[in-house]
Structure 1
Amino acid sequence: MKWCNFFNKISLILQALGCAVLYFLIEAICRHSFTEAWIYMTTKPLVFAYNAAFIFTTMLIVYLFRKRIFWRIFVGSLWLFLGIVNGVLLLNRVTPFTGPDVKNLTDGLSIAKKYLTHTQMIIGAVLLGIAVLILLIILIRSPKYRGKLKYKVNIPLVLVGVLAFGGITQLALEKRVLSNYFGNIAIAYEDYGYPYCLATTIFNTGISAPRDYSKSEIKRIEKSEENLPETKEGSHPNILFLQLESFFDPTLVNYLELSEDPIPNFRKLMKEYSSGYYKVPSVGAGTANTEFESITGMSLHYFGPGEYPYKSILKETTCESAPYVLKNLGYTAHAVHNNEANFYGRRSIFPNLGFDTFTSAEYMKDENQKNSLGWTKDSVLTDEIIKCLDSTEGPDYVYTISVQGHGDYPSEPVLENPEITVSGAPTDELNNKWEYYVNQIHEMDNFVKELTDRLADYPEDVVLVMYGDHLPTMGLTVEDVENKYLFQTEYVMWDNFGLKKKKENLAAYQMAAEVMDRVGIHEGNVFKYHQARRNTKNYQVDLETLQYDLLYGKQYTYDGENPFERTKMRMGIYDTTLDSIQVVSETDHTYYIQGTNFTPSSQVKINGEWYDTVYVNPTKLIITGKELDDFDRLLVVQRSNSSTRKAMTKSHDRAVYALLADSKWKLDSEKGSSDTGSMEETDTALETESTEDSGEENSTDNQ
């Protein structure tokens, strides 16, 4: 009893020490190293103390119960569980466990299937069951606090503790011990600690209501755009955006020595056409956020730290964007990406941005042209971009996202005879990473030349904006780069009809407005705002207010009703068709499937079951081992390269007949819709084996 009384008197001190030990263990799990956790604790003691205090604050609720030992273990177990979840995820992806993941916990089994084998899931379930059983035993057997529970004192004290922690948080932000803006979410977790970053991504999302938000304020902002000229009448040029994965000028890195210039074509274009630095919202990761800014004209600065609008607000609503605005002028909006359709959930998100078509890697006949890490080479994009332009008579808006420059860059040599050699990095491992990266962007630079050469002879006017989405994941610091800034790459605004050259630095959210302004288009609330207000007083303040109104407010700009409807986006430009079936061998039941627009991702499904399919060329597939009978139902499906979702192609809306073994049978080739007009339609149009949004989670480097 004496010892119990003594421990009760110093319980706050013991609880604080316990929380510090628990937090150290959590960081060791997240970093997969006790050594890294120790370095973090000793080099960032204030951040470590803050996060330990965070756990301590959540544990103050134990003073409202008699079974304090149980509640301490329960709260501590929850934190430990979150740490283990993050540690497991970081074995499979670069992005840590964030707020959007928490929202998907109700579908925990599906999430687990993405990262764990069946055996690992069974082991995990058993361990979780044992943990729950132990907690139940502790709940039943643990001793009770025998003193008097003074709720009138304890509740106010707990509240004071919570408020005090809130004050500490504000002070830490003001003193820059913490940050509420995450340029690279993975690095932010390492710098600011798991508890703080997790809580921030859960609770600090969206855009907060500005203090002076009102209908009159929105009307004042709109009035400031009245001096813009009317949109130029007549035909408008095709507008193309080319977002190059991790593309930037490595000669800007102070310590690198290169055997030759890796980007001579891009550099030549920068000298001949409008160009400058391109300010992006992230470093080393966050492709989808640079994409969001470039498409919508909205700044990520006002959203929550590390937030991906693709994973939050755009899952719920449509958003004003270049595709929606330009379609009112007769444009058709296309998206092109030489990676799987569900990367960053684009297949579900692009209809909310107004795209009419989306050509992903599953719909490209050359998708098997891979680099050493398995990413599809960017050279396949040239034909796909031209297809988009050729598919309509009117002007086109084409947003292309490349993938070849994606990491994780290998620390061991993987190129047998690299065209460009690299030296000067602090370690051999970093030299190897840079050498791989530099040779990849050299190939991307050759693709830029091929594309611009093709477009130079195109019979329609074209303006093409090319830029890198962010710096590569190389651990660069401001001291390492010549321009002393990490949140920028470079851009070129190329054209084939003689636009005047300008040297100007722009942010990603300003570029679409700039392009429209250069070609005489003054439409769209956000784009007109940038055209009229850039570099004026209160530009950023009013931009935040406008963005809040359009996405989270009462939409005074639209008179209270969002005018943008989710588009019925189709996958691919051209239909995949089933035309005939030819018997090759009756012995082993081998058949030729004849049709059009097949790709290496095309696979055959018979009566709901997958069959191994050999891709021969765009008009022929081979299946074997299944004897086809009368009225078998056969579908050709564009199957994702990862085992996530399979996007069903469109075939002719008619039956196909074939002659097999002297008997006529009917092949039901029912139309497989790629229409994504609603979430319900999207789900029925997909063949699902796993949860949606493979996104960057299935990659080794957060794109």
Structure 2
Amino acid sequence: MSSFVRPDDRTTEEPLDDAPAPPSTPSLAAALRRGLVGSLVAAMLATLVLEVGTLGIFMHWVGDLFLGGAFFVDVLVLWVVIGFLWAVLGRLAWSIALVSVTTVVVAIANLVKMQYREEPVYPSDIDFLREPEFLGSMVSPVLLVAAVLLVVAVLLGVLRLVARIERRYPRPRLRTLSRDHVLLLLGLRLGVGVLTGVLLVQAAHFNQPGNMWRGLYEASGKEWRYWNQKTNYRSHGFGGGFLFNMPVDAMAKPKGYDAEEMAEIAQRYERVAAQVNAGRTGSLDDTNVVIVLSESFTDPTDLDGFRLDHDPIARTRARMAGTTSGHMLAQMYGGGTANMEFETLTGQSLGLFRPQMLSPYQMLVPAHDDYPSAVGWFRGQGHDVIAVHPYQVGMYKREQVYQRFGFQDFVHDTTLRETQRIDDNPYISDRSAFDEVLTQIGEHDKPLMVNLVTMQNHIPVDGNYHDPVRVTGAGDGEDEKIGQYARGLEHTDEALDQFLGALQKSPEKTIVLFYGDHLPGIYNSSVKHANKGLSLYRTPFFVWSNQPGQNVPRTLPTTSPAFFLPLLYDVANAPMPPYLAMLETVRRHVSAIQQGRLLDGSGEQVKESALDQQSAKPARRHASGAVRLLDRQTLRGGPDVARSSRRMTGIGPNSAKSAKKLLQSTAW
């Protein structure tokens, strides 16, 4: 291409005897051929870098990647990117340099994310670039410095290579070319720009029916393994996996979805709610509701592959034994905090969304003026609603999301009254977070609904505490890391026990939902290998009340956080709205829903095709109800659909007056 054209030698001076003779000027066609080959080779090398960043040490995937053809489609994608940049910049060498450096950065990010969260880089991760401090805290300083040095080395190497190429094959000046060649070159750039631009637009709409790029990746016949994105990327290549996760509509429209169907669903669950509520004498109208998502709170004694010298969550275990409790099924290992929070507050399971809906907080909720949730319901019932998160407001777009949900106040790292850390832990302690909740309860005359998301046990855990729990058997030098994490759990265990003790002495009625969001990404391959199945996706939860007689020992099958809210009403013996009656009906038949995974009413894994009609029907109802919440006009279903849906699921977060008028105290 143009940057590979040798300049014409128009001087008439004879070269010196000891000077090398200037090389002959190749034709424009030869230069273009050289550029074509050079850019293709660059695309292949860049693709290889991305695949290594995805495959890591699992080289047995290489055969599948090459034989299936995904590697070559990935090469084509990057070749198109290089072509587009050349058309825009007019300098092929710089286009190759830009793609090369970018792929190295992405490959490093992919390796790090795979290590800590067992998932690859997604298109939506670009939002995290706004939080460099958080990204820096995720990895050790040594690894961060090494990554920066590697990127700098690659950048310098590429710049040097570009300089050599441009010295040997300088970019031609248009005035040195004939008029025909100028027109040819400009026409070629325009044509390449238009063609590659169209192809890139196609790539951005990867999930639309009939998409050309998706067809190329599917030519091998391999299925998209959306339930395991790590495998998805490794079998379809980084490019295929990345494009598969481009933004799409949040949810498919259920079969038979219309105003009549929604009216029937609303009537059905109004009747179910009436039956459930007939014998209930309690209430949450005058009760503080505290929902605690405890960052990375798990039970390490449930795992095989290592031994702790004592139980770090003994107090929590005792609380669980005396009330409604069990295990939650996390959507991911090592991450997914905001997704578990979303499920809890909305009653919508990510298993019902399209698999590309990786983070509703980032990809869905901010696009709406408001979004129905428990926040709007409790606010409509007379509660003050407050969010507490002892960290930066920008993570997962929480500030925007909380506004859409209808929170009246958001207490975060810079507005929290206590900001104590324990030993060398960089995160605010759980004790400080719990004290903030107690203070808020004391300051409000109205009953309070508080959503607390803690940070104390967030990774990295290395070197946080002076006295890690003694751990043996993990191998690979992991005992210290697990011991550090276990000590953090013990600090949470103590702080939680004191928090509940303070609530027990308080004259105000309070009910608490406590749950861990996911396991931390700290376990090595030997521990992971020793814990197959659901072990790496289960975290403890319980519902506790400070009112006499409400804490009845009950251990539930493994459940999804989407089904937590009805449990609050169960423990309080309070009448529940129809939407929660629907969730409770689903939970009894399908206790947990995950992308690619279902658990039946007893907590055993089951295929959807194996569900009996009685179990499958409420699950489909849940899907229809969840779709309703994605648009105030019910996916443009019109006011009749929205009206019948509100009868069951209720209102938006800022519609307290409408709630009283339309629903009184019986709907979500």
User: Shorter-chain TM-score category?
Assistant: 0.5 to 0.7
Task: Find the residue that maps to 1:229 and give its secondary structure.
Answer: helix
**Following the alignment from structure 1 to structure 2, what is the Cα–Cα distance between the partners of residues 519 and 192?**
49
2:246 aligns with 202
- Using the size of structure 2 for normalisation, the TM-score is 0.67
2:514 aligns with 466
Question: Cα offset for 1:387?
Answer: 1.8
In structure 1, what residue type is equivalent to 2:472? S
Task: Find the residue that maps to 2:438 and give its secondary structure.
Answer: helix
Please list the CA deviations of residues 56-88 of structure 1 after superposition, one character each: whole Å capped at 9, or x if unmatched. 257479999x99xx8998986675464245257
* Match for residue 426 of structure 1 among 475, 480, 485: 475
Task: Find the residue that maps to 1:224 and give its secondary structure.
Answer: helix
Question: Cα offset for 1:204?
Answer: 3.9
Question: Cα offset for 1:206?
Answer: 2.0
Structure 1 residue 55 corresponds to structure 2 residue 75? yes
**Following the alignment from structure 1 to structure 2, what is the Cα–Cα distance between the partners of residues 369 and 481?**
32
In structure 2, what residue type is equivalent to 1:404? Q
* 539-548 or 15-24, which deviates more: 15-24
**Following the alignment from structure 2 to structure 1, what is the Cα–Cα distance between the partners of residues 232 and 560?**
22
* Cα distance, 1:85–1:60 mapped onto 2, change above 3 Å: closer
**Following the alignment from structure 2 to structure 1, what is the Cα–Cα distance between the partners of residues 155 and 216?**
38
**Following the alignment from structure 2 to structure 1, what is the Cα–Cα distance between the partners of residues 240 and 618?**
31
Question: Cα offset for 1:104?
Answer: 9.9
CA contact (8 A) 1:279 1:489 kept: yes
CA contact (8 A) 1:182 1:306 kept: no
* Cα distance, 1:55–1:217 mapped onto 2, change above 3 Å: farther
Task: Find the residue that maps to 2:414 and give its secondary structure.
Answer: helix
In structure 1, what residue type is equivalent to 2:103? G
* Match for residue 181 of structure 1 among 212, 219, 227: 227
Structure 2's unaligned 5+ residue stretches are: 1-25, 137-143, 203-209, 590-614, 657-668
Structure 1 residue 507 corresponds to structure 2 residue 560? yes
* Cα distance, 1:373–1:191 mapped onto 2, change above 3 Å: farther
1:564 aligns with 652
CA contact (8 A) 2:283 2:575 kept: no
CA contact (8 A) 1:22 1:76 kept: no
In structure 2, what residue type is equivalent to 1:43? W
Percent of aligned pairs with the same amino acid: 18
Structure 1 residue 547 corresponds to structure 2 residue 626? yes
In structure 1, what residue type is equivalent to 2:642? Y
* Match for residue 362 of structure 1 among 414, 418, 443: 414
In structure 1, what residue type is equivalent to 2:616? K
* Cα distance, 1:138–1:380 mapped onto 2, change above 3 Å: farther
In structure 2, what residue type is equivalent to 1:307? L
1:270 aligns with 320
* Cα distance, 1:321–1:523 mapped onto 2, change above 3 Å: farther
**Following the alignment from structure 2 to structure 1, what is the Cα–Cα distance between the partners of residues 583 and 472?**
43
2:455 aligns with 403
In structure 2, what residue type is equivalent to 1:354? G
CA contact (8 A) 1:239 1:396 kept: yes
CA contact (8 A) 2:384 2:449 kept: yes
**Following the alignment from structure 2 to structure 1, what is the Cα–Cα distance between the partners of residues 456 and 132?**
27
1:227 aligns with 271
CA contact (8 A) 1:85 1:97 kept: no
1:701 aligns with none
Structure 1 residue 282 corresponds to structure 2 residue 332? yes
* Cα distance, 1:138–1:90 mapped onto 2, change above 3 Å: farther
Question: Cα offset for 1:324?
Answer: 0.6
Question: Cα offset for 1:233?
Answer: 7.5
**Following the alignment from structure 2 to structure 1, what is the Cα–Cα distance between the partners of residues 521 and 467?**
23
Question: Cα offset for 1:326?
Answer: 1.7
CA contact (8 A) 2:226 2:232 kept: no
* Cα distance, 1:521–1:123 mapped onto 2, change above 3 Å: farther
Question: Cα offset for 1:175?
Answer: 4.6
Instruction: Please list, as runs of the form range in 1=range in 2, the aligned pairs for 1:92-241 lying within 5 A after superposition.
Output: 98-100=122-124, 137=171, 166-167=214-215, 169-170=217-218, 175=222, 178-181=224-227, 193-204=237-248, 206-230=250-274, 235-236=283-284, 237-241=287-291
Task: Find the residue that maps to 1:275 and give its secondary structure.
Answer: strand
CA contact (8 A) 1:225 1:533 kept: no
* Cα distance, 1:75–1:98 mapped onto 2, change above 3 Å: farther
**Following the alignment from structure 2 to structure 1, what is the Cα–Cα distance between the partners of residues 170 and 383?**
63
In structure 1, what residue type is equivalent to 2:480? N
In structure 2, what residue type is equivalent to 1:218? M
**Following the alignment from structure 2 to structure 1, what is the Cα–Cα distance between the partners of residues 341 and 541?**
14
**Following the alignment from structure 2 to structure 1, what is the Cα–Cα distance between the partners of residues 152 and 79?**
31
How many residues get paired?
545
Question: Cα offset for 1:439?
Answer: 0.8
* Cα distance, 1:44–1:370 mapped onto 2, change above 3 Å: farther
* Match for residue 64 of structure 2 among 38, 43, 46: 46
Question: Cα offset for 1:290?
Answer: 0.7
CA contact (8 A) 2:51 2:238 kept: yes
In structure 2, what residue type is equivalent to 1:292? F
CA contact (8 A) 1:262 1:445 kept: yes
In structure 2, what residue type is equivalent to 1:455? L
Please list the CA deviations of residues 593-614 of structure 1 after superposition, one character each: whole Å capped at 9, or x if unmatched. xxxxxxxxxxxxxxxxxxxxxx
* Cα distance, 1:367–1:567 mapped onto 2, change above 3 Å: farther
* Cα distance, 1:385–1:546 mapped onto 2, change above 3 Å: same
**Following the alignment from structure 1 to structure 2, what is the Cα–Cα distance between the partners of residues 225 and 260?**
47
Please list the CA deviations of residues 401-420 of structure 1 after superposition, one character each: whole Å capped at 9, or x if unmatched. 1111111232xx664433x2
Question: Cα offset for 1:18?
Answer: 6.2
2:295 aligns with 245
* Cα distance, 1:138–1:456 mapped onto 2, change above 3 Å: farther
**Following the alignment from structure 1 to structure 2, what is the Cα–Cα distance between the partners of residues 407 and 138?**
53
CA contact (8 A) 1:27 1:83 kept: no
Alignment RMSD: 5.2
**Following the alignment from structure 1 to structure 2, what is the Cα–Cα distance between the partners of residues 82 and 338?**
33
1:295 aligns with 345
Task: Find the residue that maps to 1:362 and give its secondary structure.
Answer: coil
Question: Cα offset for 1:564?
Answer: 2.3
CA contact (8 A) 1:356 1:567 kept: no
**Following the alignment from structure 2 to structure 1, what is the Cα–Cα distance between the partners of residues 489 and 134?**
34
Structure 1 residue 451 corresponds to structure 2 residue 504? no
In structure 2, what residue type is equivalent to 1:531? E
**Following the alignment from structure 1 to structure 2, what is the Cα–Cα distance between the partners of residues 26 and 182?**
19
In structure 2, what residue type is equivalent to 1:315? P
Structure with bigger helix share is 2
**Following the alignment from structure 2 to structure 1, what is the Cα–Cα distance between the partners of residues 133 and 323?**
49
Question: Cα offset for 1:129?
Answer: 11
* Match for residue 435 of structure 1 among 465, 483, 495: 483
CA contact (8 A) 2:385 2:408 kept: yes
Structure with bigger strand share is 1
Task: Find the residue that maps to 1:227 and give its secondary structure.
Answer: helix
In structure 2, what residue type is equivalent to 1:24? L
